[in-house]
Chain A
Amino acid sequence: GQQLNQSPQSMFIQEGEDVSMNCTSSSIFNTWLWYKQDPGEGPVLLIALYKAGELTSNGRLTAQFGITRKDSFLNISASIPSDVGIYFCAGQLTTDSWGKLQFGAGTQVVVTP
């Protein structure tokens, strides 16, 4: 079953505001991935993290791999209407060599003008 706790479940923000979401687990992960899913589409990979403490940016997105390897967060700065969607964290367990991913429940982001 799902081992990742993703929060918040949803966020209603105004355009221009920053957004922050995180995932935590009791398990240790080798890899953290952040995806965005638009309605009617498959998830799109936003950021991949491979080392504890790693901080990676992709445009207005910034994500960090927690030092304990049990958590990760994603920040979106200066939100715009196209940031609307569902954001999923995903982690690859240290005990899994095939690269199977565990997914969080998702964070629904709604941006109002």
Chain B
Amino acid sequence: SAVISQKPSRDICQRGTSLTIQCQVDSQVTMMFWYRQQPGQSLTLIATANQGSEATYESGFVIDKFPISRPNLTFSTLTVSNMSPEDSSIYLCSVRLQGATYEQYFGPGTRLTVT
């Protein structure tokens, strides 16, 4: 497995502002994923972030709203831009370890409230 940390753990932000969430892993990983989990709901994939290439976004998510950086094999950031109350969610990063399996390990999440 892997130890994954996220910063901040929670935040309360005003409408129209942006928040950058950091994800740090204790080992080098090929693939990192960003998810959104709305209150009482399941996990929805926002994008896949590979080191050295642009992130690949899922349907309904765009780079202007959720820009992602992946500068190295242990770190990624997700920015939630021009926030509205509908962006209030838990944002989770996950990693897929190098190797043949498809197991993903999750960070503790960032709880975002937009007022």
Q: Show the binding face of A for B, using Cβ within 8 Å.
A: 2, 30-31, 33, 35, 40-45, 48, 50, 88, 90, 92, 98-101, 103-106
Chain B, interface residues (CB within 8 Å), range: 20 to 34
User: Once A and B bind, how many residue pairs between them come within 8 Å at the CB atom?
Assistant: 55
What residues of A have a CB within 8 angstroms of the CB of B1 in the complex?
A: 45
Tell me the dominant secondary structure on chain B's binding face.
Answer: strand
B interface, CB within 8 angstroms of A: 1, 4, 31, 33, 41-45, 48, 56, 92, 94, 96, 101-109, 111
Selected from A42, A44, A100, A104, the residue in CB contact (under 8 A) with B42 is A104
Are B103 and A33 in contact, CB atoms less than 8 angstroms apart? yes
A41 CA / B44 CA spacing, docked (Å): 16
Q: Which residue of A lies closest to B105 (CB)?
A: A45
Residues of A within 8 A of B56 (CB): 98
